[in-house]
Amino acid sequence: MTAFCYGLAFLEFWVIIKTAMDEQWPIIGHDNVKKFLSGALKAGRLHHAYLFLGPAKVGKMTVAKIFAQSALCEHGEKGRPCGQCVSCKRFLQGNHPDISILSSEENTVGVELVRGLISDLSHSSLLGKARIGIIDGAHKLTTEAQNALLKTLEEPKASKIIILISENCLLSTTASRVQTVKFYLAQGSALMEFLRKEGLEHRRIQELVALASGRPGIVLEFLRNGDKIKEYRDEAQKFLSLFGETKPFNVFAFDVLGKDLERARERWRELSEIGTRVLREMLLLKLGLGDQTVYLSEMPAEKILNYSPSKLAFLINHLQTLRQQVRSNIDPRFALENFYLLIH
Ligand SMILES: [Zn+2]
C-alpha cells in the first residue's frame, strides 16, 4: 500500500507522549542526532531539507516525527515539543494538517508519488508555521523521482521542510542539496537502560539486546509481539542449517532466497544480519565463552566443531564484504552461493 497519510502506530504514540513529559527526546540512543536537531530548533536555524541516513529499524522515522512535531510546535524554540499547544495536540491525534508522509510498501517509489508530495508542500501552512513532508524509504526513489525533487530542494523556503529517510546513499545531485544526518546502530547500553526502565529482568534484557543487534525498532517489536523472538530464532536456525546442507549450492540459494530479486534482497538482508550474529556466537563458543551466547544457547553446537576460530573470523569478515556487495547491487543469490561454497 502506498500512502500519503499521517498516523501514529501505538509504540510511536507511546514514545511521543513521553516526549512531552521528559526533558530530553526519549529516543533510544542517537544522542548526537538529538543534540544536533534540538540545537537547530533552539537556534531557529532549520535546514530546508534533511536526509536521515542509516540502517533499518534504528529509529529514523521516530526521530523524524518528533523533529517535525518540535519544528511545528508553538514553543519549539525549547528544542523539544511542548505537547500542549494546538499544533502538538493535532500531531498527537495523528492528523496534523501540515505534515505529509509518503511511504510505500512497493519496491520502488515513482515520480507520481513524489509529485503528489510536492503538491502538498506547495500549499500554505494551515496552522501558520511550515509544511513538512517526510519520505520514508527514500532509497527506493527512482532516478526520475529524485530528479523531480531537485527543483524543490534547489529552492529553499523557510515555510517548507523535506525529510528524506533512507538506508542507502542517494544520487549525488540529491544528496548535495540536503543536510545529511547519519544514524548508527544504538549502543547496547542505551537499549539496556531502556529495558531496565521497562522493568524487565536482567537475563531477559540481555537476550533482547543481543537479538536486536543495536536496533531499537526490533526491541520495540519484541515487546509488542513475543512471537517475533521465535521468528528470529527460526531465522538463526536456517542460517545454521547452511553448515549441514547437502543440496547443490545453486538450487539451495534459490530455495532460501526465492526467485523474485527484490524479495531475495530483503531475505538476504535479514538472513545475513542474523548470520553475522550466529557466526560471532560460534566464535564465542569455540573460545569457551558459551555463556555469552543467545541464539546458540538453545541450538545444537556440533556443527561448529570443524571450524577453527580463524576460519570463523574469516567467514564473519567475508559475510560483511558480501553484504556490502549486495548493497552495491550484486545478486543476493550469488552472494549466498559464494558464502555457501566457502563454508563447505
Ligand atoms: Zn507544542
> What's the domain count of the chain?
3
Which three cell numbers, joined as nine digits, stand for 49? Answer: 531539507
The domain boundary, picked from 225, 251, 279, lies at 225
Q: How far does residue 197's CA lie from ligand 1's centre (Å)? A: 26
Instruction: With beta carbons less than 8 A apart as the criterion, state whether 181 and 53 touch.
Output: yes
Least confident of 56-65, 203-212, 235-244: 235-244
Q: How far does residue 38's CA lie from ligand 1's centre (Å)? A: 14
List pLDDT tens digits, range 170-203.
888 888 899 999 999 998 899 999 999 999 998 8
Tell me, yes or no, whether 260 and 300 share the same domain.
yes
Tell me, yes or no, whether 10 and 135 share the same domain.
yes
Q: How far does residue 20's CA lie from ligand 1's centre (Å)? A: 9
Tell me, yes or no, whether 196 and 281 share the same domain.
no
Tell me, yes or no, whether 204 and 65 share the same domain.
no
Domain extent at residue 63: 2-182
Tell me, yes or no, whether 232 and 203 share the same domain.
no
pTM of the model: 0.78
C-alpha dist (Å) from residue 322 to 263, 276, 281, 309: 17, 11, 19, 20
The CATH number linked to 48 is: 3.40.50.300
Q: How far does residue 86's CA lie from ligand 1's centre (Å)? A: 7
List pLDDT tens digits, range 39-86.
999 999 999 999 999 988 899 999 999 999 999 999 888 888 998 999
Q: How far does residue 71's CA lie from ligand 1's centre (Å)? A: 9
